[in-house]
Amino acid sequence: MLQLRDVRVVIDGHEIIRIDELDLAPGSRLGLVGESGSGKTMTAKAIAGLLPDESKVSGSVIFEGQDLLTLNDREMSKVRGKRIGFVFQDPARSLNPMMRIGKQVSEAIRIHSDLKGDAVTAKVIDLLHQVQLPEPETLLRRYPHQLSGGQQQRVMIAAAIAADPDLLIADEPTTALDVTVQEEILRLLISLSEERKMSLMFVSHDLGVIRFVCDRVAVIYGGNIVESGRIEDVVAHPMHRYTAALLAANPGMPKDDNFSAFIGKRLQTITGSVPAVGKFPSGCRFRNRCLSATDACSTMPSPITTGNDHRYLCWNPGDRGQS
Ligand SMILES: Nc1ncnc2c1ncn2[C@@H]1O[C@H](COP(=O)(O)OP(=O)(O)O)[C@@H](O)[C@H]1O
Ligand code: SF4
Ligand SMILES: [Mg+2]
């Protein structure tokens, strides 16, 4: 349903994103994971057509057979919201503080449908029910500041699914929320994606959260997808050394374990920090932080694919963490 091929984003002469291949199957939930500054948001923005004006983009982003990178702004704004919904990290900044909740959700409905008057209000109430907000009839007259962070994020999700999109892209939607609220919102996203057969691209720096929500994962570092596959395969046998280091820092939570006991826990930190744009080494971008780097790593490894589409780019793969 969504295929990225040779997608490059260059800003001010610096290559921020270079993704040779990334796929999302219909109905599936793909996690995009990496430390802060790895290129997760830029990837989501490249798909959404929301990159900064100075960006140069090439390659293809094929969504349901259509290359989104060939669409103009007007065509793209029809895809955004209607066929692909978006939810971002900070609900307080995404909502208009001066506008009542009902109006904000009804705008999303009006833009993408022919509904009018009472039919719109009925749809708003139905959507607020679907995101499990209490007393929607009262809530729609409230302003954002009268809602908790978790309730605000539910409103954002209601607006994002208003036009019944086939794909929802959620960029760190729960990072700003405390852990119990986080778990409720994640469960809501899982049930909405299952009930509506809506694919989900879920962006997070936390592998535990990704394992809770997703069936597949793509690991991003320096704007490159360094490893991808079924979440259980990647967690059990990480092949790229960056994935292994991420797992050592956050082992990810088995699906049936206690959420709050696992989420956000850091066991180790990864050596060094993510370089600034333009400061990455040549070849494998993780080379200056990798304890297993060899001379070969100064050139970019070719992708290797094993069973279940487990794909990685590493000269010295291994699944026992950094050694
Ligand atoms: N508007 C911009 N102009 C130039 N560089 C940017 C811009 N926005 C983000 N970047 C850079 O792109 C890289 C990836 O950023 P981002 O996608 O936001 O990372 P993540 O979401 O994984 O934390 C970072 O090095 C960041 O500094
Ligand atoms: S072994 Fe080489 S290719 Fe693999 S992660 Fe380390 S630096 Fe990159
Ligand atoms: Mg981000």
Residues 185, 150: contact at Cβ < 8 Å? yes
User: 320 alpha carbon to ligand 2 midpoint, in Å?
Assistant: 14
Q: Look at residue 322 in the predicted model and tell me its pLDDT.
A: 42
**CB 29, CB 190: distance < 8 Å:** yes
How far, in Å, is the centroid of ligand 2 from the Cα of 188? Answer: 37
Distance CA 19, CA 45 (A): 14
To which H or E segment does residue 53 belong? none
Contact of 212 with 186, CB cutoff 8 Å = yes
Task: Give exposure, 40-56, as e/b (b: 16+ Cβ within 10 Å).
Answer: bbbbbbbbbbebeeebe
Q: Kind of pairing, strands 216-221 and 224-230?
A: antiparallel
Q: How far is the CA of 114 from the centre of ligand 3 (A)?
A: 34
What per-residue confidence (pLDDT) applies to 319?
58
Helix (H) or strand (E) holding 44: helix 40-48
Query: How far from the centroid of its chain's Cα atoms is residue 34's Cα?
Result: 10
Pocket probe for ligand 2: among 221, 225, 284, 304, the residue whose CB has the most ligand atoms within 8 Å is 284
Nearest to 297 by CA among 276, 280, 272, 279: 280
Q: Is the CB of residue 278 below 6 angstroms from any atom belonging to ligand 1?
A: no
Which pLDDT value is given to residue 88? Answer: 85
> Alpha-carbon distance 315 to 323, whole Å?
15
280/274 Cα distance (integer angstroms): 8
Q: What spacing in Å lies between the alpha carbon of 290 and ligand 2's midpoint? A: 6
**Element containing residue 18 per DSSP (H, E):** strand 14-24
Closest CA to 42 of 11, 21, 84: 11
Q: Whose CA is nearest to atom 5 of ligand 2?
A: 241
pLDDT per residue as tens, the chain (323 positions): 999 999 999 999 999 999 999 999 999 999 999 999 999 999 999 999 999 999 999 999 999 999 999 999 999 988 998 899 999 887 778 899 999 999 999 998 998 889 999 999 999 999 999 999 999 999 999 999 999 999 999 999 999 999 999 999 999 998 888 888 889 999 999 999 999 999 999 999 998 899 999 999 999 999 999 999 999 999 999 999 999 999 888 766 666 666 676 666 666 678 888 999 889 999 999 999 999 999 999 999 999 999 889 999 999 998 544 43
pLDDT of residue 262: 64
Give how far the C-alpha of residue 105 lies from the chain's centroid of Cα atoms, to the nearest Å: 22
- List the domains of the chain with CATH numbers: 2-83+163-312 (3.40.50.300)
**What pLDDT does 321 receive?**
42
Q: What is the pLDDT of residue 90?
A: 79
For ligand 2, the distance from its centroid to the CA atom of residue 52, given in whole angstroms, is 31
Q: Which ligand 2 atom lies nearest to the CA of residue 317?
A: 4
Question: Greatest CA span in the chain, whole angstroms?
Answer: 67
Residue 155 has a pLDDT of 95
Q: φ and ψ at 55, to 5 degrees?
A: -75, 145
Q: Give the pLDDT score at 261.
A: 66
Among 30, 85, 23, residue whose Cα is nearest residue 60: 23
Strand 2-11 relative to strand 14-24, pairing: antiparallel
User: Do 44 and 223 touch, CB atoms closer than 8 A?
Assistant: no
Look up tokens 């009930």; give the residue.
Answer: 195
Binding-site residues, ligand 2, Cβ < 6 A: 240-242, 284, 286-287, 290, 292-293, 297, 301, 314-316
Ion ligand 3: residues, CB < 5 A: 40-41
